[in-house]
Amino acid sequence: MKDTQTGSVRFEGVVKKYGDVTALKKLDLAIEPGKLVTLLGPSGCGKTTTLRLIAGLEMATEGKIFIGGEDVTHLTATYRKVSMVFQSYALFPHMTVRENVAYGLTVKSVPRAEANAKAEDGLELVGLAGFGDRLPSELSGGQQQRVAVARAIVLEPEVLLLDEPLSNLDAKLRRHVREEIRQIQQRLGLTAVYVTHDQEEAMAVSDNIIVMNNAEIAQIGTPADLYEAPNSAFIADFIGDANLVACDIEKVADGAATAVLDGQRYTVPSSDIANRSAQMVLRPHALNLGASGLPGLKGEVTYAAYLGKEIQYTVQTDVGSLFIISPVQAEPFQQGDAVSVGIVADHARIVAA
Amino acid sequence: MKKTILIWLALGLASFVLLPWHMTDDGLFDPRWITDGVAATGLFGTLAGQWWLAPAGLALVVATILQLTIPEPVKRARLTLGTAGAGLFFMAVQGLIIVRAGPRVFEGVLTGDGIMAGQAGMGAGAGICAIALLFAATISLSQSGKGQGDAFVVSTIGLIIALVGIFVFFPVIHILVRAFEVEGGYSLTQFFPRFFSSDIWGLGCLIGPRSCGVAINSLFLGVMTGLGTTVLGLAFALIFTRTDFRAKKVLRVLTVLPIITPPFVIGLALILLFGRAGTVTEFFADLFGWEQTRWLYGFWGVYFAQLLSFTPIAFLVLIGVVQGVSPSMEEASQTLDADRWQTFRYVSLPLMRPGLANAFLLGFIESIADFGNPLVLGSGYSVLSTEIFFAIVGAVADPAKAAILAIALLSLTMSAFIAQRLWLGKKSYATITGKADSGQNAGLNPVLKGLCYAIALPWAALTLIVYSMIIFGSFVKLWGYNHSFTFDHYIRAFGIDFENRRLTGVAWDSYFTTLTISSIAAPLTAIVGLSTAYLLVRQKFVGKDAFEFSTMLSFAIPGTVIGVSYIMAFNFPPIELTGTSIILIIVFVFRNMPVGVRGGIAAMSQLDKSLDEASITLGANSFTTVRRVILPLMGPAILAALTYSFVRAITSVSAVIFLVSAKHNMATAFIVGRVENGEFGLAIAYSAVLIVTMLAAILLMQLLVGTRRLRRTDRVQQTAKAA
**pLDDT tens readout for residues B598-607:** 778 877 877 8
- A333 and A189 fall within a common domain: no
B216-473 and B502-697 in the same fold:
yes
Q: What is the pLDDT of residue B439?
A: 58
The structure's pTM equals: 0.80
Q: Does position B717 have pLDDT exceeding 50, yes or no?
A: no
Q: Does position B208 have pLDDT exceeding 90, yes or no?
A: no
Q: What is the pLDDT of residue B184?
A: 63
- For B292-301, the pLDDT digits (tens) are 677 788 888 8
Q: Of the given ranges (A31-45, A196-210, B390-404), which has the lowest mean pLDDT?
A: B390-404
Average pLDDT over residues A43-69: 90
CA B456 remoteness from chain centre:
29
Nearest chain B CA: its distance from A298 CA (Å): 48
Q: Which residues of B touch A76 (CB under 8 A)?
A: 147-150, 616
Residues of the domain holding A245: 241-352
- A270 and A336 fall within a common domain: yes
- Spatial neighbors of A324 by CB under 8 A, at least 6 apart, are A284, A287, A289, A312, A313, A314, A315, A341
Q: What is the pLDDT of residue B310?
A: 86
Chain B residue with the nearest C-alpha to that of A83 = B617
Q: What is the pLDDT of residue B442?
A: 66
Instruction: Mark which of A181, A202, A228 sits at the end of a domain.
Output: A228
Under DSSP, is residue B244 helix (H, G, I), strand (E, B) or coil?
coil
- B616, A76: Cβ pair inside 8 Å? yes
Identify which of B356, B397, B364, B357 has the alpha carbon closest to the alpha carbon of residue B383: B364
Is the CB of residue B632 less than 8 Å away from at least one CB of chain A? yes
Q: Which residues of A touch B712 (CB under 8 A)?
A: 135, 138
Q: Of the given ranges (B100-104, B606-610, B642-646), which has the lowest mean pLDDT?
A: B100-104
One-letter amino acid of A237: D
When mean pLDDT is compared over B82-86, B209-213, B280-284, B699-703, the highest value belongs to B82-86
Average pLDDT over residues A306-335: 88
Domain borders along chain B are 2-149, 216-473, 502-697
Residue of higher predicted confidence among A172 and A83: A83
- A154 and A23 fall within a common domain: yes
Identify which of A50, A25, A83 has the alpha carbon closest to the alpha carbon of residue A195: A50
Is the CB of residue B610 less than 8 Å away from at least one CB of chain A? yes
Is the CB of residue B631 less than 8 Å away from at least one CB of chain A? no
- A155, B619: Cβ pair inside 8 Å? yes
Nearest chain B CA: its distance from A48 CA (Å): 13
Q: What is the pLDDT of residue B212?
A: 74
Q: What is the pLDDT of residue B1?
A: 62
Nearest chain A CA: its distance from B143 CA (Å): 11
- A246 and A155 fall within a common domain: no
Which contacts (CB < 8 Å, 24+ apart) does range B63-69 have? B63/B5, B63/B9, B63/B87, B63/B133, B63/B136, B64/B6, B64/B9, B64/B10, B64/B13, B67/B2, B67/B5, B67/B6, B67/B9, B68/B6
Identify which of B463, B471, B473 has the alpha carbon closest to the alpha carbon of residue B255: B463
- Backbone φ/ψ region at A37: left (φ over 0), alpha (ψ -120 to 50), beta: beta
- Give the pLDDT band (50/70/90) at residue A271: low
**What does DSSP assign to residue B505?**
-
- For B331-350, the pLDDT digits (tens) are 778 788 888 888 888 888 88
Nearest chain A CA: its distance from B494 CA (Å): 44
- A203 and A270 fall within a common domain: no
Compute the distance between CA of residue B488 and CA of residue B504 in angstroms, rounded to an integer.
13
Q: What is the pLDDT of residue A2?
A: 42
Give the B window 633-652 contacts with A, CB below 8 Å.
Answer: 633
**Beta strand A70-71 pairing with A338-343:** unpaired
Q: Does position A100 have pLDDT exceeding 90, yes or no?
A: yes
Nearest chain B CA: its distance from A91 CA (Å): 7
- B613, A152: Cβ pair inside 8 Å? no
Average pLDDT over residues B386-405: 82
When mean pLDDT is compared over A264-273, B154-163, B253-262, the highest value belongs to B154-163
For chain A, the domain total comes to 2
**Beta strand A191-196 pairing with B181-182:** unpaired
- Give the pLDDT band (50/70/90) at residue B651: confident
- A83 and A178 fall within a common domain: yes
Residue of higher predicted confidence among A14 and B538: A14
- A220 and A259 fall within a common domain: no
Q: Does position B185 have pLDDT exceeding 70, yes or no?
A: no
- For B502-520, the pLDDT digits (tens) are 777 888 888 999 999 999 9
The CATH number assigned to the domain holding A56 equals 3.40.50.300
Pick B624's closest partner by Cβ from A77, A107, A161. A107
Identify which of B302, B297, B259 has the alpha carbon closest to the alpha carbon of residue B649: B259
Average pLDDT over residues B404-416: 87
- The rounded percent of chain A whose pLDDT value lies above 70 is 97
Is the CB of residue B707 less than 8 Å away from at least one CB of chain A? no
Give the B window 176-195 contacts with A, CB below 8 Å.
Answer: none
Residue of higher predicted confidence among B88 and B552: B88
- Give the pLDDT band (50/70/90) at residue A219: very high
Q: Which residues of A touch B616 (CB under 8 A)?
A: 57, 76-78
Q: What average pLDDT does the structure give for chain A?
A: 87
- Give the pLDDT band (50/70/90) at residue A162: very high
- B608, A90: Cβ pair inside 8 Å? yes
CATH class for the domain made up of B216-473: mainly alpha
**Beta strand A36-40 pairing with A208-213:** parallel
Nearest chain B CA: its distance from A191 CA (Å): 16
Tell whether A234 is covered by a domain: no
Q: Does position B86 have pLDDT exceeding 50, yes or no?
A: yes
Chain B residue with the nearest C-alpha to that of A161 = B617
Pick A134's closest partner by Cβ from B615, B624, B719. B719
Nearest chain B CA: its distance from A52 CA (Å): 10
Instruction: Mark which of A228, A258, A288 sits at the end of a domain.
Output: A228
Domain B502-697 carries which CATH code? 1.10.3720.10
- B618, A103: Cβ pair inside 8 Å? yes
Is the CB of residue B621 less than 8 Å away from at least one CB of chain A? yes
Pick A93's closest partner by Cβ from B150, B616, B710. B710
Task: Check if the beta carbon of residue A90 is closer than 8 Å to that of residue B613.
Answer: yes
- A215 and A248 fall within a common domain: no
Pick B146's closest partner by Cβ from A55, A74, A93. A74
Count of residues in chain A: 353
Q: Does position A1 have pLDDT exceeding 50, yes or no?
A: no
Count of residues in chain B: 723
Q: Does position B722 have pLDDT exceeding 70, yes or no?
A: no
Average pLDDT over residues B118-124: 77
Tell whether A32 is covered by a domain: yes
Residue from B542, B617, B628, B711 to probe the interface with A (highest A Cβ count within 10 Å): B617
Nearest chain B CA: its distance from A284 CA (Å): 38
- A217 and A260 fall within a common domain: no
Q: What is the pLDDT of residue B221?
A: 92
One-letter amino acid of B3: K
Distances (CA, A) of A84 to A153, A160, B163, B421, B630: 9, 6, 37, 38, 19
Pick B618's closest partner by Cβ from A59, A137, A151. A151
Chain A residue with the nearest C-alpha to that of B622 = A78
Task: Check if the beta carbon of residue B571 is closer than 8 Å to that of residue B102.
Answer: yes
- How many distinct helices (H) and strands (E) make up chain A? 8, 20
Q: What is the pLDDT of residue B49?
A: 74
The CATH number assigned to the domain holding A340 equals 2.40.50.140
- How many distinct helices (H) and strands (E) make up chain B? 38, 6
Q: Does position B671 have pLDDT exceeding 50, yes or no?
A: yes
Q: Does position B220 have pLDDT exceeding 80, yes or no?
A: yes
- Give the pLDDT band (50/70/90) at residue B209: low
Distances (CA, A) of B547 to A221, B165, B539, B543, B601: 47, 11, 12, 6, 14
Pick B616's closest partner by Cβ from A74, A77, A148. A77
Is the CB of residue B615 less than 8 Å away from at least one CB of chain A? yes
Task: Check if the beta carbon of residue A7 is closer than 8 Å to that of residue A190.
Answer: yes
- A70 and A160 fall within a common domain: yes
Q: What is the pLDDT of residue B714?
A: 36
Tell whether A179 is covered by a domain: yes
Tell whether A320 is covered by a domain: yes
**CA quadruple B244, B246, B247, B252: dihedral positive or negative?**
positive
Q: Which residues of B touch A161 (CB under 8 A)?
A: 617
Residue from A78, A79, A92 to probe the interface with B (highest B Cβ count within 10 Å): A78
Nearest chain B CA: its distance from A84 CA (Å): 6
Q: Does position B362 have pLDDT exceeding 80, yes or no?
A: yes
- For B436-467, the pLDDT digits (tens) are 445 566 667 788 888 888 888 888 888 888 88
Q: What is the pLDDT of residue A152?
A: 92
Specify which residues A192 forms β-bridges with.
A36, A160
Q: Does position B308 have pLDDT exceeding 90, yes or no?
A: no
Q: What is the pLDDT of residue B663?
A: 82
Q: Does position B238 have pLDDT exceeding 50, yes or no?
A: yes
Q: Which residues of A touch B720 (CB under 8 A)?
A: none
Q: What is the pLDDT of residue B255?
A: 67
Q: What angle do CA A318, A320, A325 make, to 5 degrees?
A: 110
Q: Which residues of B touch A122 (CB under 8 A)?
A: none
N-term to C-term CA, chain B: 49
Distances (CA, A) of A324 to A260, A286, A340, B217: 21, 8, 12, 80
Under DSSP, is residue B70 helix (H, G, I), strand (E, B) or coil?
coil
Q: Which residues of A touch B630 (CB under 8 A)?
A: none
**What does DSSP assign to residue B181?**
E
Is the CB of residue B607 less than 8 Å away from at least one CB of chain A? no
Average pLDDT over residues A72-91: 88
- B147, A93: Cβ pair inside 8 Å? no
Tell whether A235 is covered by a domain: no
Residue of higher predicted confidence among A53 and A267: A53
- Give the pLDDT band (50/70/90) at residue B720: very low
Chain A residue with the nearest C-alpha to that of B624 = A107
- A90, B614: Cβ pair inside 8 Å? yes
- A74, B632: Cβ pair inside 8 Å? no
- A220 and A246 fall within a common domain: no
Is the CB of residue B71 less than 8 Å away from at least one CB of chain A? no
Chain A residue with the nearest C-alpha to that of B610 = A90
Average pLDDT over residues A233-238: 88
Q: Of the given ranges (A316-320, B162-166, B472-476), which has the lowest mean pLDDT?
A: B472-476
Nearest chain B CA: its distance from A201 CA (Å): 23
Q: Does position B351 have pLDDT exceeding 50, yes or no?
A: yes
Average pLDDT over residues A136-152: 90
- B620, A104: Cβ pair inside 8 Å? yes
- A111 and A219 fall within a common domain: yes
Compute the distance between CA of residue B219 and CA of residue B223 in angstroms, rounded to an integer.
6
Q: Does position A193 have pLDDT exceeding 90, yes or no?
A: yes
ipTM of predicted assembly, 2 dp: 0.82
The DSSP line for B2-39 is HHHHHHHHHHHHHHHHHSBSB--TT-TTSTHHHHSSS-
- Give the pLDDT band (50/70/90) at residue B37: low
Instruction: Mark which of A207, A228, A249 sits at the end of a domain.
Output: A228
- B710, A57: Cβ pair inside 8 Å? no
Nearest chain B CA: its distance from A153 CA (Å): 10
- The rounded percent of chain B whose pLDDT value lies above 70 is 86
Task: Check if the beta carbon of residue B377 is closer than 8 Å to that of residue B302.
Answer: yes
Q: What is the pLDDT of residue B296?
A: 80
